[in-house]
Amino acid sequence: MTAPSRDPLDAAIDEAIAARRVQDPLVGARIGAEEISRRLLKAMASERGVHVESLLAVCGALAGQACQVGVRARSRAAGRAELAGLHVVDTGDGGSCLVGEGLVQALFNDPTSTWGLAAGAAQQAGCTDLPDPTALWRQGIERLGQGDFGVPQVPDAHQPSPESLQALPSLWPALLPLAQRFCPEPVEWPILFGLVAQKAITMGREVIDPCLALRIVMDTAVANAMVVLPESQEMASGP
């Protein structure tokens, strides 16, 4: 069977990105974030527009999942076991999650961490009371196995829709081919999806307090960084 031909414009864009990587290693992440943001906005739009809290939750969750994949990819690249430095925790409800310093690093401490990108956007939008990153991680751990695990700790009026949270398991595999196209190396995916979350906070600054927007992003990011992704969805490009 003959492989389908690529769109000439897509091919030209991919070639341009590859050529610019030498001078700008993050060019793929930035362009990919724009494309994924555009698709999310289109998919989540209704006759009333886009529900900002739901968009923020989705973007945070994707960033968290990307952090886990990035940590596992970094271990593989270094010749270590994929879960090196991570620990499987029984949540008490029949499930399990991952915790460990690698996730903390990707979420909060790396130069282009989810926290760094999201908090920077929130501050630029006017947030002057940033939450404590250590408390965000600790609260995520405390809610493992509970009914409100992954639900942002914000007032009811600013909760994402239940439908958006229920759709999260299907979003990662749906967007994975785009992530692979713009960032062939999985270690770049946390940056790509962190930029998507950053863009959502910036776009929503006229609709929701940026401090609340940041909390939605980080609560969903922390929770979804811990959720063990199905093996087929972890990194299709890996060996």
- Residue 142: which domain range? 26-230
pLDDT reading at 2 higher than 80: no
CA distance 180 to 74: 16
Q: Does the residue 40 lie in any domain?
A: yes
Give the per-residue pLDDT at 74: 93
Task: Specify the pairing of strand 49-50 against strand 86-90.
Answer: unpaired
pLDDT band at residue 12, thresholds of 50, 70 and 90?
Answer: low
Q: How far apart are CA 235 and CA 131, in angstroms?
A: 31
Mean pLDDT in the chain?
A: 89
State the Cα–Cα distance between residues 173 and 201, nearest whole angstrom. 23
Distances (CA, A) of 82 to 21, 66, 78, 224: 27, 14, 10, 18
Three-state DSSP class for residue 153: coil
Residue 207 lies in a domain: yes
What is the model's pLDDT at position 18? Answer: 65
Is-contact 75 83, C-beta < 8 A?
A: yes
Task: Establish if 7 belongs to a structural domain.
Answer: no
Global pTM exceeds 0.75: yes
pLDDT level of residue 6 (50, 70, 90 thresholds)? low
Q: Give domain status of residue 10, yes or no.
A: no
Tally Cβ neighbours within 10 Å of residue 43: 14
> How far is CA 232 from each of CA 43, 55, 88, 237, rounded to the nearest angstrom?
24, 25, 18, 10
Q: Are 164 and 51 in contact (CB under 8 A)?
A: yes
Residue 237: per-residue pLDDT:
39
201 or 12: which carries more pLDDT confidence?
A: 201
Q: Is residue 231 predicted with pLDDT exceeding 60?
A: no
Report the 10 Å Cβ neighbour count for 133. 18
In-domain check, residue 19: no
Number of domains in the chain: 1
Rounded to 10 degrees, the C-alpha dihedral 199/200/206/207 comes to 180
| Mean pLDDT value across residues 126-134 | 96
Tell me if 182 is assigned to some domain.
Answer: yes
Q: Within a domain: residue 18?
A: no
Residue 238 confidence (pLDDT): 41
CB 118 within 8 Å of CB 198: yes
Is 1 inside any structural domain? no
Neighbours of 100 (CB within 10 A): 18
Both tokens of 1, joined, read 């069977």
Evaluate the CA torsion angle 211, 216, 217, 223 in order and state its sign: positive
